[in-house]
Structure 1
Amino acid sequence: MRGLTQLILLLLAACLSLWLILGFWPLGTGSRVALSLLVVILSGAVGYLQWRKHHREVSAHALITGAALPPEDFQGAVVLVCGDSAALFSTSVPVRETRQGWYLPVALPEHLPLLAQHLAAERPALIAQISVLLAVVPEQHQDKDDFTQKLHVWHRAIVQCKSWLAGVPPVWISTWLSPPVVSAQQPERWFTITPGHKDVQVQEAGSGVMPLVEWGQQSDARNGQERLSTVFWMESLLPWLETHVSSILIQRQGDVPALTPCVWGACFTPVTGIPDNLWQVHIGSITTLTPDVHNVQECLPLPEILLPYLPRRHGVSRLMQAWLTAGLLCGVFLLFALLASFVNNQRLVQSVGDHLAVYNRLSGTPPSPKTIAQQQLRADASLLDEWLRGGAPMRMSLGLYQGMRLIAPLEAAINSWTPPPPPPPVITQIVQGPKTIRLDSLSLFDVGKYELKTGSTKVLINALVGIKAKPGWLIVVAGHTDITGDEKSNQVLSLRRAESVRDWMRDTGDVPESCFAVQGYGQSRPIATNDTPEGRAANRRVEISLVPQADACKATATPNSSND
């Protein structure tokens, strides 16, 4: 389940990143493709590593514990029992569950960080409820140095749990000892040292809390000896714990910080011990008594009475943790999307502003540059009008769209100047001589056509006043085009246009056909550059020239009635 949640979050992060790259950020096509591929590759690599890590963790956790974890909504304390934990659990029941706590055994110090990591991954809502119980049974140890070394190792293992439990977990210590006098009807009794109380307190099930001294003074003839022995046992236990346990935990070990137990408790109950254990040696050094060694089959009582003294915090469930992560991803996406929208709108404002500045700087003389600038403004206004009607694109929106305030300045600038009307067709004398006349093709023909259009007669009459058919002169009609279209079609079009002009002159002036020579040059003889509209207009022309030729125009046709 946890692996699936991580996969969904990774997929969400990848989708939001691709959406940001492809839909918002002002990047070129190559940059978008490169970044998108990078996001896909990184997402795949991270997903594969997470899958490998999850499987390794599952395998490691399966080795350290076969115990059932508490449910996600468990309200009690989750206690990791370290130290001499074997005496509190049986082989048939790997965990002990009570109304107030869920106790999990930890057999070895190296298993404690792994179990903490497993709990943090599977039950994140219970992290604040986790604590570590250091169980101490002095009657199960013989060597003092070995016992001290074990405490050092447990100390380091507890501190290592802070990476997964939001800091070092609360630590509490519980000690079990065989009572000086074994009684069949002895109630479960705990001797505690809690925050806010310097003296030892005595707590019994169903009874209140009272100081140890006061409790010992309430003895009667029936249990007086038992209470006095217990008080002596307790007063002997305190310096032993101070020397063998507390002094080790509260000291810093190199890079391992000291631990401060939040509560301490001791219970006198029959405990399975070994001969010549540490407790027997300690009692024997201060008295002539030797505690007996017992062999008990039952599990030791749990320190339930100490649970109310543990600090409690609120945890976050796995589902809530996933929702928080998803919300964080969406928040980061929205932040970067807003930033991209702001950048896109600033670019739009700067682009339109630059176009307006160029337009306003031009005086209109000559009109061509300002006409081009006005066309750019019209394109900008058309785009903004389209966004006004259909909605601005997503990369410009998110409440930051600035196009509305640009429409009015654009319209005002466009309406502030009108280009002058185009000049009438000009008949230009060229360098060939005063007897060469050039006619604009568009004033005679439609685009791509070679039939004379209506209204061209006046232009021809005005242009051809100086052209007279006379012997010894050849009337040369030459057609030219720009580079628009293919070369062969342009050559045919120029020839056909020259023939149309020749036919009109022949039929109108009753000039013999021997006076004419028709030529079509197509695009081969430009007189201006074809890279500008003005140059292409100059290249589209029909030229009429008088060329001296001795045998030209000798026969003159007799006018007939129809021509008259």
Structure 2
Amino acid sequence: MALSLLVILICGVTLWRQWGTSRTRHDAVREITDDSLPPEDFQGAFILTCGDSAALFTAGTQHRETRQGWYLQVKDAEQLPLLAQHLSIVRPALVSQISVLLTILPERHYSTDDFTQELRGWQRAVAQCRPWFNGLPPIWTVTWVSPPGACAGENPVWFTVVNNRAGIQVHQPGQGNLPLADWINESGASGRFTRLSQALWLDSLLSWQGNAVDSLLTERQGELAALRPCAQGFCMVPLSGWADSLWQQHISGITALSPDRVDPPDALPLPELLLSGLPHCRGISRRMAFWRYAGLLAAIFLVLAMLASFIHNQRLIRSVADHLTLYHRLSGEPPLPKVQAQQHLRADGRLLDDWQRRGEPLRYRMGLYQGLRLLGPVEAAVSDWAPPAPPTPVIQQIVQGPSTVHLDSLSLFDSGQSELKPGSTRVLVNSLVGIRARPGWLIVVSGHTDNTGRAQLNQTLSQQRAGSVRNWMRDTGDVPESCFAVQGYGAGRPVATNNTPEGRALNRRVEISLVPQADACQLPDTKAASPDVSDALTQ
């Protein structure tokens, strides 16, 4: 319960502080309407005009728009960071085009200490804008003073100092900029004395500016960042000054003279000629940011899709390659493993062929499908080997002569035994139909075993098994014993290799064949028969 209350309290304090901050920001920028802000596609410079900015704007206006820039008035230092936060939300595309203009009117200040504190306030406010402007924005200063012998209606004279230009430049309407020395010594120039006096006036202004402004802005104190102006402008224009102002104090300390007081213009001239010296950057609008993020997400999706396709294709290649490697490694003896490997390759071939005709699945696409180059090796491997013919039946006739019968020992005898198994009679009857006792022919019964066990025991076992088959044939067909010859060869005459189970099964056998012999198989009351005598007995 206490933990829940603590969480609720923390959330409430956080929301209250956020609401207070939002309300403060709203109060500070509520006078800044959308009409006072440039559109998001504005291409010129966006200048936040600070300092003595009231003299640049007519009564009731918050901004001035020109062909090259948009000047927005910032009334006090506390408003600047809140306005920066507001602009980063409503005009994010213009953040990179924003610069801070510090306007200075030394004829509108009385106290040096108050002027210094005001500069420190603006310096602190600019530093607080860093999170919203991705760093310190470009800073530039412009100072307006009355020229010597000022008269109402005179054209302003501009002196500029820009970082990428050498020395002080003087702006000539219609002629561009001239170095200060060339402007003073220009041949044929009227009012030579006036230009010289203005140059001396400028030198006094530079001295005051360096001591009262530049030394403060470029000096870092604690959390206050040093501000180095990227451009400076000095305008000499008729301007009504206050009695005993900072500028009058400075001039009186040098010349014992005071500037003349004249009627002020409605608004001071804007420093348009300095805009070319500001850094030029194009911001990112919300629409551009949206499409940038959309493009980034699409690129990430495309990369992930290609990566997934690459992984699936590599798995397919490895699977088929493993099947091919195993298939080629098998020799075919015994044939069953290679038959199974061949079945795997046939399945791979059917799958690849189906994908070739119907199109591969999406997970293999993105231009990375490798199945076409795998189909050829799979088809070639499947067709280069065929399994051997299936093994012959248990009882089969081996071609050793015209009437030779091969009987499988395990179908007649138990393992290691020489007595006929029950039920072996049918096997003998079905297999010995072609063996007939006839005079002049000897029925040879021979037994064979595989090489398992001792050779002497195998020879004896083969002899006994052959004798058991001879006895059955003699007793069943009433054939004289002289018609038979019994032989036991053991493992001496194999018909297949003894290294495999199939070969050993073929070697365990009893063979019955007819061998011509003139005095063999003498039946009762008959003479010795030649091989062409007709059958005397049918078994």
Smaller-chain TM-score bracket: 0.5 to 0.7
Equivalent position SS for 1:251? coil
Give yes or no for contact 1:187–1:204 (8 Å, CA) kept in 2: no
Equivalent position SS for 1:81? strand
Equivalent position SS for 1:193? strand
Q: Is residue 286 of structure 2 the alignment partner of residue 302 of structure 1?
A: no
Q: 1:421 — aligned with what?
A: 390
From 22, 27, 32, the counterpart of 1:65: 32
From 400, 407, 411, the counterpart of 2:379: 411
Q: 1:323 — aligned with what?
A: 291
User: What one-letter code is carried by the residue in structure 1 that aligns with 2:318?
Assistant: Q
Q: 2:453 — aligned with what?
A: none
From 300, 314, 332, the counterpart of 1:346: 314
Q: Is residue 360 of structure 2 the alignment partner of residue 392 of structure 1?
A: yes
Structure 1 residues 354 and 260, CA gap change in structure 2 (3 angstroms): same
Equivalent position SS for 2:36? coil
Q: Is residue 301 of structure 2 the alignment partner of residue 333 of structure 1?
A: yes
Equivalent position SS for 1:96? strand
Give yes or no for contact 1:367–1:420 (8 Å, CA) kept in 2: no
From 139, 145, 156, the counterpart of 1:171: 139
Q: 1:358 — aligned with what?
A: 326
Structure 1 residues 361 and 246, CA gap change in structure 2 (3 angstroms): same
Counterpart Cα distance in 1 of 2:37 and 2:388: 85
Give yes or no for contact 2:161–2:232 (8 Å, CA) kept in 1: yes
Deviations 1:305-362 (A, max 9, x none): 3223334345555544443433333333323322222222111111122223333344
Equivalent position SS for 2:369? coil
Counterpart Cα distance in 2 of 1:200 and 1:406: 76
* Cα shift at 1:151: 2.5
* Cα shift at 1:399: 2.0
Equivalent position SS for 1:239? helix
Identity of aligned residues (%): 49
Give yes or no for contact 2:29–2:82 (8 Å, CA) kept in 1: no
Counterpart Cα distance in 2 of 1:212 and 1:377: 90
Equivalent position SS for 1:326? helix
Counterpart Cα distance in 2 of 1:72 and 1:303: 23
Q: 1:193 — aligned with what?
A: 161
Deviations 1:38-89 (A, max 9, x none): xxxxxxxxxxxxxx99x97997595473353222343332212122222222
* Cα shift at 1:135: 0.7
Q: Is residue 118 of structure 2 the alignment partner of residue 138 of structure 1?
A: no
Q: 1:152 — aligned with what?
A: 120
User: What one-letter code is carried by the residue in structure 2 that aligns with 1:171?
Assistant: I
Counterpart Cα distance in 2 of 1:266 and 1:334: 56
Structure 1 residues 276 and 98, CA gap change in structure 2 (3 angstroms): same
Aligned length: 392
User: What one-letter code is carried by the residue in structure 2 that aligns with 1:265?
Assistant: G
**TM (normalized to structure 1)?**
0.57
From 55, 80, 102, the counterpart of 1:112: 80
Counterpart Cα distance in 2 of 1:252 and 1:273: 31
* Cα shift at 1:243: 0.6
User: What one-letter code is carried by the residue in structure 2 that aligns with 1:310?
Assistant: L
Give yes or no for contact 1:161–1:168 (8 Å, CA) kept in 2: yes
Deviations 1:423-445 (A, max 9, x none): 659997899x94479xxxxxxxx
* Cα shift at 1:174: 0.5
Give yes or no for contact 1:189–1:205 (8 Å, CA) kept in 2: no
Give yes or no for contact 1:120–1:127 (8 Å, CA) kept in 2: yes
Counterpart Cα distance in 1 of 2:164 and 2:366: 57
Structure whose CA Rg is larger: 2
Q: CA RMSD in A?
A: 4.5
Give yes or no for contact 2:25–2:83 (8 Å, CA) kept in 1: no
Q: Is residue 66 of structure 2 the alignment partner of residue 98 of structure 1?
A: yes
User: What one-letter code is carried by the residue in structure 2 that aligns with 1:306?
Assistant: L
Counterpart Cα distance in 1 of 2:29 and 2:348: 67
Counterpart Cα distance in 2 of 1:59 and 1:183: 44
Counterpart Cα distance in 2 of 1:124 and 1:169: 14
* Cα shift at 1:236: 1.8
Deviations 1:443-492 (A, max 9, x none): xxxxxxxxxxxxxxx99x969xxxxxxxxxxxxxxxxxxxxxxxxxxxxx
**TM (normalized to structure 2)?**
0.60
Q: Which runs of 5+ in 1 are unaligned?
A: 1-51, 438-457, 464-564
* Cα shift at 1:136: 1.0
Equivalent position SS for 1:240? helix
Give yes or no for contact 2:101–2:142 (8 Å, CA) kept in 1: yes
Equivalent position SS for 1:131? strand
Structure 1 residues 149 and 319, CA gap change in structure 2 (3 angstroms): same
Give yes or no for contact 2:29–2:83 (8 Å, CA) kept in 1: no
Deviations 1:464-522 (A, max 9, x none): xxxxxxxxxxxxxxxxxxxxxxxxxxxxxxxxxxxxxxxxxxxxxxxxxxxxxxxxxxx
Deviations 1:153-177 (A, max 9, x none): 4334445556555654432211122
User: What one-letter code is carried by the residue in structure 2 that aligns with 1:418?
Assistant: P
Counterpart Cα distance in 2 of 1:274 and 1:368: 112
Counterpart Cα distance in 2 of 1:63 and 1:95: 14
Q: 1:277 — aligned with what?
A: 245
Counterpart Cα distance in 2 of 1:423 and 1:99: 103
Q: Aligned ranges for residues 74-93 of structure 1 at < 5 Å?
A: 74-93=42-61
Equivalent position SS for 1:148? helix
Deviations 1:157-205 (A, max 9, x none): 4455565556544322111224444423322222333456665444354
